[in-house]
Amino acid sequence: MSSMAPLEWLRRSLALRLSVWFAVLFAAGFTATFFLLYVLLGRQLESRDFEALRLRIGQYADIYEARGLIGLRERITEDSEAPHVRSLFVRLVGPGGNLVWGKVPPDWIEKDPRQLAVPDGWGGWSVRRVYNVRVPTDLQRDIAVVSTVLPDGLLLQVGRSTDSRSALLEPLRHLFLWVGGGVVVVAFAIGFFAARRATRPLQNVVQTARQIISTGALDARVPMPKRQDEIAELVRYFNTVLDKNAGLLRAMREALDNVAHDLRTPLTSLRGTAELALRQQENPAAANEALAECVERADDVLRLLRALMEISEAEAGMMRLDMVECDLADLARAAVELYSDVADAQQITLRIEDAQPAPVKADATRMRQAIANLIDNGIKYTPAGGVVALHTETKDGVAHLAVSDTGPGVAPEEQAKIWDRLYRSDHSRSKAGLGLGLSLVRAIVTAHGGSATVRNGERGGAVFEITLPARSAAAETAQGAPTAPQVV
């Protein structure tokens, strides 16, 4: 709950909202089920009452058709000995609505008759005893009546007083209110417990984020839940994001430290050269030479910053790539031709040993830059009289380009480190360079969905290999003349 007020926590609690929705849905389902059962039970009771009356009126209609009114009256008189028949209401109604004959159950007749004076037809009056018939319909009792038209046009009606279905089902409605209320409360409690348990990893994510924001503890991580579900996957990815962020921040600090270290030398030299130019005002030739050296040092700094920016763009997935169909063999030939004079000047043999087709879809300019950096690295660490060789091939749907040299190779413990920004091994400190060439190679290749690796050759030296997804040889097209790559 952290430091939030209880009401604020309740308003924002996902577990509470989920449990409320669970209780509402459960109550709706429970109510719908009860309503269906209530309707079905009511219809079943009604069907039972009317089915018995339909059976009875069918028997009476057959008797009337066979024996007439006299036979019907005799049958009803015989049947009246049975209680369930004695309670029947039977009547015959003529076409005009006049009563032909009727039988009223004894309990429908009031016990206290009234004395009424009625004309006797002879000009006098006579006293008659009059009984009132009351149909027992109220909250507790109801009446069920079925009718059928007889062959002679009379309407036969048979009815019975029944218990009111509403009254019969009233205890069931009360039971529903009590049981339903209890069920909803229990459902809410169970839903709240389950929702709290399910959302606990999310609460841990929030608490970890607050801890990082408030304390700056970048090593804080969310405890992994025991269940392997979508929330566990979210927690795993959240921790992975934290690990990557921590790694990026650590790499950024190291890069800044390395940049500060590597910039200190050229900037110090740049300042010293500028001061020397200021002191050589009486000697224009010496001043111009110092200024030219200042420009060269400034170019070194610009190349360093430009390479760092390109590596950062590639690692962040923001490097702009002009993807075209090209062949690593053609790019390798162009790079060898470009560096042939540099290799000859250092008495190093630069050649292509085996250039098999290796068609890929890539940014040709960026790939030429990566290949050029590998060739430059090989020439830099290969002694005079050595060989730098290139090899290309396609195997199992993967295009390979390897650059091997006859230099000292790379120590196994440094093979993973040489791809880091500004990393330079002890024996390479004396070599010119910024320590970013291999980092840029890996960044470019990774941006193309490939990989860059290094190993030591069987006969000495290092072997740098680039692998990229190969495209179909049928889609291979000719490429234009290469542009000069940038080497860092």
- How does pLDDT run across 268-324, given as a tens digit for each residue? 777 777 777 777 667 777 777 777 878 877 877 777 777 777 776 666 666 778 889
Is 108 a residue whose pLDDT tops 60? yes
pLDDT value at position 11?
61
User: From the CB of residue 69, how many other CB atoms can be counted at a distance below 10 Å?
Assistant: 14
Question: Sign of the C-alpha dihedral, residues 207, 211, 214, 216?
Answer: negative
Domain assignment of residue 149, yes or no: yes
Domain assignment of residue 266, yes or no: yes
Domain assignment of residue 450, yes or no: yes
Asked which of 254, 285, 315 is the last residue of a domain, the reply is 315
Domain assignment of residue 235, yes or no: no
Domain assignment of residue 230, yes or no: no
Q: Which CATH number belongs to the domain containing residue 426 in this structure?
A: 3.30.565.10
pLDDT 10s digits, 38-85: 788 877 877 777 888 888 888 889 988 888 888 888 888 887 776 655
Do 21 and 4 fall within a single domain?
yes
User: From the CB of residue 420, how many other CB atoms can be counted at a distance below 10 Å?
Assistant: 17
pLDDT value at position 274?
78
Q: In this structure, are strands 114-119 and 125-130 parallel, antiparallel, or unpaired?
A: antiparallel
Domain assignment of residue 351, yes or no: yes
Maximum average pLDDT range among 25-34, 177-186, 392-401, 473-482: 392-401
% pLDDT > 90, the chain: 15
Mean pLDDT of the 209-225 span: 80
pLDDT value at position 138?
53
Q: Which CATH number belongs to the domain containing residue 274 in this structure?
A: 1.10.287.130
Is 184 a residue whose pLDDT tops 90? no
| Residue 66, token pair as written in the block | 């066979």
**Residue 28's pLDDT band (cuts 50, 70, 90):** confident
Domain assignment of residue 484, yes or no: no
Residue type, 306: R
pLDDT value at position 273?
75
Do 64 and 209 fall within a single domain?
yes
Residue 241 has φ and ψ, to the nearest 5°, of -60, -45
Q: Can you spell out the DSSP letters for 83-120?
A: HHHHTEEEEEE-TTS-EEEEE--GGGB-SS-EEEEEE-
Is 256 a residue whose pLDDT tops 80? no
pLDDT 10s digits, 384-414: 999 999 999 999 889 999 999 998 888 888 8
* C-beta contacts of 475-481 below 8 A and 24+ residues apart: 475/325, 475/359, 476/325, 476/327, 476/357, 476/359, 477/325, 479/324, 479/325, 479/326, 479/327, 479/330, 479/364, 481/334
Separation CA 135–CA 157 (nearest Å): 14
Domain assignment of residue 126, yes or no: no
Is 430 a residue whose pLDDT tops 60? no
**What Å distances lie between residue 136 and 34, 92, 109, CA to CA?**
30, 20, 10
pLDDT value at position 374?
92
If one counts the domains in the chain, the total is 3
Question: Sign of the C-alpha dihedral, residues 408, 410, 413, 417?
Answer: positive
% pLDDT > 70, the chain: 77
Is 373 a residue whose pLDDT tops 80? yes
**Residue 185's pLDDT band (cuts 50, 70, 90):** confident
Q: How far is CA 446 from the centre of its chain?
A: 28
Separation CA 207–CA 238 (nearest Å): 13
More confident: 225 or 468: 468
Is 253 a residue whose pLDDT tops 80? no
Separation CA 483–CA 372 (nearest Å): 11
Is 468 a residue whose pLDDT tops 90? yes
pLDDT value at position 315?
66
Mean pLDDT of the 197-213 span: 78
Do 395 and 453 fall within a single domain?
yes
Quote the DSSP letter at residue 426.
G
Do 84 and 149 fall within a single domain?
yes
| Residue 298, token pair as written in the block | 């400034």
More confident: 400 or 21: 400
Do 54 and 169 fall within a single domain?
yes
pLDDT 10s digits, 119-129: 655 666 665 55
Do 181 and 258 fall within a single domain?
no
Mean pLDDT of the 223-231 span: 76
pLDDT value at position 485?
45
pLDDT value at position 275?
78
pLDDT 10s digits, 140-182: 567 778 888 888 888 888 887 776 666 667 777 777 778 877 8
Domain span including residue 406 = 323-475
Question: With 0-12 CB in 10 A as exposed, 13-18 as middle and 19+ as buried, what is 402?
Answer: buried
Do 266 and 384 fall within a single domain?
no
Mean pLDDT of the 445-473 span: 87
Do 164 and 254 fall within a single domain?
no
Do 330 and 471 fall within a single domain?
yes
Residue type, 134: R
Average pLDDT, the chain: 77
Do 302 and 408 fall within a single domain?
no
Do 308 and 450 fall within a single domain?
no
Asked which of 283, 315, 347 is the last residue of a domain, the reply is 315
pTM of the full predicted structure?
A: 0.47
Do 289 and 142 fall within a single domain?
no
pLDDT value at position 210?
81
